[in-house]
Amino acid sequence: MEHGSDSEDDKPLIFKRSNTSVKQNQAKPRCQKIISAEAVWQVGRLISDVRSTNGHDSNVQKGKTVPSTKGSPVVSPLASPKASVSSSKASQVKPPVASTKASTSGADQSRQNSQQNRTAIVKAERPSGIPKEEPDSGSEDSDDDKPLNSRLPVGGSKGSISEVNRRPSSSGPAAFEKDLGIKEEDSEDDIPLSHKFKQKSNAGESSNAYDSDEGKPFASKPRQNGTNVKDNVKNPSTAINKRPSAEVKCSGQSPVKKATVQLHLHQVRKLTVKAEPKKEADDSDDDNATISQRVKKPATPISKASDKKKSAVSVSSSLNKVNKNSKKITKSTQFSKSLKVPPGSGEGQKWTTLVHNGVIFPPPYKPHGVKMLYKESPVDLTLNQEEVHMIAVMQILTEYLTKPVFRENVMNDWKIILGRNHIIKNLDDCDFTPIYEWFRLKKEKKKQMSAEEKKAVKEEKLKQEEKYMWAVVDGVKENVGNFRVEPPGLFRGRESIPKMGKLKKRISPSDITINIGKDAPIPECPIPGESWKEVRHDNTVTWLAYWNDPINGKEFKYVFLAASSSLKGQSDKEKYEKARKLKGYIEGIRTAYTKDFSSKDVTKRQIAVATYLIDKLALRAGNAVATYLIDKLALRAGNEKDDDEADTVGCCTLKVENVEPRNNPLLKLDFLPKDSIRYQKRVEVEIPVFKAIQQFRSGKKGSDNLFDKLDTCKLNAHLKELMPGLSAKVFRTYNASITLDEMLNKETKGGDVSQKVAVYQHANKEVAIICNHQRSVSKSHSTQMMRLDEKINKLKNFIEELKTDLSRAKKGKPPLKGSDGKTKRNMNPEAIEKKIAQTNVKIEKMERDKETKEDLKTVALGTSKINYLDPRITVAWCKRYEVPIEKMFNKSLLAKFAWAMDVEPSFRF
């Protein structure tokens, strides 16, 4: 709960993900419109109050979205008719940008502000000559004001999904398309996605790999040496199957094997518990340590504090040494060998011994003693009641105030706790101002704390948490990922409107099931008088604890080991090995599905086309929607008609309306996949694919499934026939990694480190685009760009001045006064020329920076780095091109990818 929540933790709430609200706001303009007058009044009043005290409070800022109901009378909101709302809202929500912005620091700008910023940016960035997306969908400028139901076409195939949908992504996709060199509109202008692939992967090959190569836009040619490398690196059979049962029986493996595994996989850091204290000292001698040795150190939590310094030193010192080290690394064959041995022992067994201390709970709620007002009068609340409203206050104020569903859910859950006869009946009559003020002051105080105080608080917290931070798995100390139980709060989903605002109740030990080794001591329950729900000893799973999700009781929240643990590392490695294995099959698979494009069997044809899309466009399979729909229907039975909420889809669940054939063979894809991050691209496809899709669409409504004979189960079952263990997601990993590998090898030309890094980033960006990894444009993006422009202009003016000075100096005259009116000292012409050159370099750098910044404003590079790019590609490339690995991976990535550090420089994906 660390974020945003008070360090004292005496209030349960968190300010996370507030941005979702933006999305939602954007996504559902209607929500904004319907917002109740009461809501506006209520919060507006609160906020104006607070603001008058201090316009800087972050939460206030978040809340400032709220229309300037400032002036609104202190009147029971109940009285205000909804009708007034929309209008007031319309006028309120939009304008605040300019005015409120001025009063707030960027960091805490309201969601709406950022939304508007984004929108503005999007619009601005669209070249004027280029028509907007979808002429047939109407102007998107007006989208904000459009009712939700106009956003998603029902039954029609004409995409009326406005660009401003959901996400700020409005800018995202646009930028993405820009990246692809694709113009937004008309089919004639459409440049197919495949062009990108051509550039990307076929730089050296025939100009159109795609068309000429039977639909293998990616790396169609299997790399010969790949096989060798693979063999070098590992014994595929061992690595690919999860903890192969044949391998090692747990009994047989015990002490000896365990030791090997530890030593190898965890090298230095992963000493056995006993050995641990000593070892830290030992390997502080980094000069001779391998990258992975160095990398691993920080993971030992006990020494974390002191380790921080140490690792910082080691990392930076290694910056210069990596290259030397890389040679050493390659020699350390013992480590490479070790990678062949999976940590688990067979038969689905993930561990043999497991010791940990359970989980830590958020501190109990401390009442603040400040009374809220209900219909103007103070109200007494019990602790529980207060806790709920405390949560509500914070979140309502910050972001969700405009969402009726949110408010409704909050109130529903609060009512249960208030009891039937409580005087509080209506959220709109609640005035939380006093509490909010109290909270604000507290936060302020915290901010004012001196560095020492802050440090002390931090240390205290660390002390409390320390024992929960690690577990001992098969004698090896590993970090635990999320050892903190989620604090109570209000649910904030991304698009699942019906659940938003529901209370996530406080989790108690009796909700928690612990998983631990049979012989390990059962963790003491940290809350006196309570006990765990259950204690298990299941070594076929990796979780240490779980509880039922308070929002959807059927789902679980797990506590797992950290990403840097060997268990995670091993499965990560297996994932990439599987993807590498696909490399050997891909050609056959592509040939096969190409053949099936025209199969007489509809199911076969659908599987072929779906596989093609998954392969070519890195689409996800799209399984989630099934459960999601079920869930939703259950929740909203009888309400479907009004349900204009967009569902997220994956490949198998694409709707007819999501895939629109344009000019043969151009397809327009537009849908909302995971997290409702809009996927909007135009793709040139094989003609048979185009035709098949036309067939699949014929006779269906826009909301019908494009692939009616298909689901992820069938698709994956089919994929498994083609390659053992193959499933849809492997294609994503494969295509991401192979793209990186190829681009790096094609485009790295030498130059200095920063140039090489730029090549890497470029490749990384391509991958992010393929995977549709977007991010919202930072709130301050446009300001930042403007600032850069200013600076550049200043420098340019400076150069002009210098030029004048130069010509004067050549004539022996003194320089003119500077633009600031100050007299400049005399300089000789050479010095002036030098200065001009320096300044030019500066300008160039700034312009480059500006370009990159603009370029990446909607692209998130991190996700692919963490999840899709085989780290061995990066490590090997670093070794080959003498780039310090620390330039590419930050500390946590280094820890996560420790298993990849020993790879041979010749490694190719």
Which window, 148-156, 189-197, 322-330, 566-574, contacts DNA (CB under 7 A)? 566-574
Nearest distance from residue 322's CB to DNA, in Å? Answer: 16
Nearest distance from residue 471's CB to DNA, in Å? Answer: 13
CB 11 within 8 A of CB 5: yes
C-beta of 755 vs 783, nearer to DNA: 783
Instruction: Give Cβ neighbours of residue 709 (< 8 Å, ≥ 6 apart).
Output: 602, 603, 606
How far apart are alpha carbons 773 and 26 in whole angstroms? Answer: 19
Residue 829: phi, psi to the nearest 5? -55, -40
Nearest distance from residue 628's CB to DNA, in Å? Answer: 5
Nearest distance from residue 180's CB to DNA, in Å? Answer: 17
- Residue 663-702 contact track with DNA, rule CB under 7 A, x = bound: ----------xxxxx-------------------------
Instruction: Give Cβ neighbours of residue 667 (< 8 Å, ≥ 6 apart).
Output: 659, 660, 661, 682, 683, 684, 685, 689, 690, 693
Nearest distance from residue 758's CB to DNA, in Å? Answer: 13
C-beta of 132 vs 620, nearer to DNA: 620
Q: Does 725 bind DNA (CB under 7 A)?
A: yes
Q: Does 568 bind DNA (CB under 7 A)?
A: yes
Q: If 0-12 CB within 10 Å is exposed, 13-18 middle and 19+ buried, where does residue 683 land?
A: buried
Q: Does 19 bind DNA (CB under 7 A)?
A: yes
C-beta of 168 vs 342, nearer to DNA: 168
Q: Which of residues 520-539 bind DNA (CB under 7 A)?
A: 538
Q: Does 628 bind DNA (CB under 7 A)?
A: yes
C-beta of 88 vs 772, nearer to DNA: 772
SS (H, E, C) 822-879: CCCCCCCHHHHHHHHHHHHHHHHHHHHHHHHHHHCCCECCHHHHHHCCCHHHHHHHHH
Nearest distance from residue 549's CB to DNA, in Å? Answer: 6
How far apart are alpha carbons 646 and 637 in whole angstroms? Answer: 16
C-beta of 134 vs 486, nearer to DNA: 486
C-beta of 214 vs 549, nearer to DNA: 549
| CB neighbourhood size of 662 (10 A) | 17
Which window, 228-236, 692-700, 765-773, 810-818, contacts DNA (CB under 7 A)? 765-773
C-beta of 102 vs 256, nearer to DNA: 102
Q: Which of 101, 132, 167, 196 binds DNA (CB under 7 A)?
A: 167
| CB neighbourhood size of 734 (10 A) | 27
Instruction: Give Cβ neighbours of residue 613 (< 8 Å, ≥ 6 apart).
Output: 619, 651
Q: Which of residues 374-413 bind DNA (CB under 7 A)?
A: none
Which window, 263-271, 325-333, 637-645, 777-785, contacts DNA (CB under 7 A)? 777-785
Written as six digits, the tokens of 389 are 């409203």
CB 650 within 8 A of CB 622: yes
Written as six digits, the tokens of 322 are 């990596």
Written as six digits, the tokens of 865 are 């780095």
C-beta of 317 vs 890, nearer to DNA: 890
With the CA atoms of 562, 280, 278 and 288 taken in that order, what torsion angle do they form, in degrees rounded to the nearest 10? 120
Q: Which of residues 597-626 bind DNA (CB under 7 A)?
A: 620-626
Nearest distance from residue 647's CB to DNA, in Å? Answer: 8
C-beta of 546 vs 707, nearer to DNA: 546
Please indicate whether residue 436 is annotated as part of the active site.
Answer: no
- Residue 23-52 contact track with DNA, rule CB under 7 A, x = bound: x-----------------------------
How far apart are alpha carbons 710 and 688 in whole angstroms? Answer: 19
Nearest distance from residue 422's CB to DNA, in Å? Answer: 27
The sign of the torsion formed by the CA atoms of 416, 422, 428, 434 equals: negative
With the CA atoms of 514, 515, 518 and 522 taken in that order, what torsion angle do they form, in degrees rounded to the nearest 10? -30
Residue type, 467: K
Residue type, 655: K
Which window, 13-21, 408-416, 679-687, 821-829, contacts DNA (CB under 7 A)? 13-21
Q: Which of 69, 170, 774, 874 binds DNA (CB under 7 A)?
A: 774
How far apart are alpha carbons 909 and 893 in whole angstroms? Answer: 19
Nearest distance from residue 652's CB to DNA, in Å? Answer: 8
Written as six digits, the tokens of 536 are 């298990």
Which window, 371-379, 434-442, 683-691, 778-786, contacts DNA (CB under 7 A)? 778-786
How far apart are alpha carbons 260 and 334 in whole angstroms? Answer: 10
Q: Does 432 bind DNA (CB under 7 A)?
A: no
Q: Which of 358, 487, 509, 815 binds DNA (CB under 7 A)?
A: 487
Q: Does 89 bind DNA (CB under 7 A)?
A: no
Q: Which of 272, 571, 761, 782 binds DNA (CB under 7 A)?
A: 571
Which window, 150-158, 636-644, 679-687, 783-791, contacts DNA (CB under 7 A)? 783-791
Which window, 120-128, 275-283, 570-578, 593-601, contacts DNA (CB under 7 A)? 570-578
How far apart are alpha carbons 770 and 13 in whole angstroms? Answer: 37
Q: Does 1 bind DNA (CB under 7 A)?
A: yes
How far apart are alpha carbons 524 and 505 in whole angstroms? Answer: 22
Q: Does 119 bind DNA (CB under 7 A)?
A: no
Nearest distance from residue 562's CB to DNA, in Å? Answer: 8
Residue 661's nearest CA partner among 680, 689, 635, 639 is 689
How far apart are alpha carbons 583 and 580 in whole angstroms? Answer: 5
Nearest distance from residue 292's CB to DNA, in Å? Answer: 17
Nearest distance from residue 897's CB to DNA, in Å? Answer: 12
Q: Which of 38, 57, 108, 431 binds DNA (CB under 7 A)?
A: 108
SS3 490: strand
Residue keyed to tokens 């931070």: 469
How far apart are alpha carbons 894 and 566 in whole angstroms? Answer: 13
Q: Determine the size of the site formed for DNA (CB under 7 A).
A: 107
C-beta of 225 vs 627, nearer to DNA: 627
How far apart are alpha carbons 855 and 89 in whole angstroms? Answer: 34
Q: Which of 76, 482, 603, 745 binds DNA (CB under 7 A)?
A: 482
How far apart are alpha carbons 345 and 251 in whole angstroms? Answer: 9
Q: Which of residues 826-865 bind DNA (CB under 7 A)?
A: 853, 860, 862-864
Q: Does 478 bind DNA (CB under 7 A)?
A: no
Q: Which of 117, 150, 171, 733 binds DNA (CB under 7 A)?
A: 733
Q: Which of 145, 466, 511, 549 binds DNA (CB under 7 A)?
A: 549
Give alpha helix (H) positions in 601-686.
Answer: 602-617, 624-635
C-beta of 167 vs 356, nearer to DNA: 167
Identify the active-site residue in 400, 593, 760, 868.
Answer: 868
How far apart are alpha carbons 235 and 214 in whole angstroms? Answer: 32
Nearest distance from residue 79's CB to DNA, in Å? Answer: 33
Q: Does 798 bind DNA (CB under 7 A)?
A: no
DSSP 678-717: -EEEEEE--HHHHHHHHHHHTT--TTSBSSTT--HHHHHH
Q: Does 22 bind DNA (CB under 7 A)?
A: yes
Q: Which of residues 342-371 bind DNA (CB under 7 A)?
A: 350
C-beta of 426 vs 571, nearer to DNA: 571
Q: Does 496 bind DNA (CB under 7 A)?
A: yes
Written as six digits, the tokens of 582 are 């696909």
Q: Which of residues 437-476 bind DNA (CB under 7 A)?
A: 454, 458
Give the residue numbers annotated as catalytic, written as ranges: 868
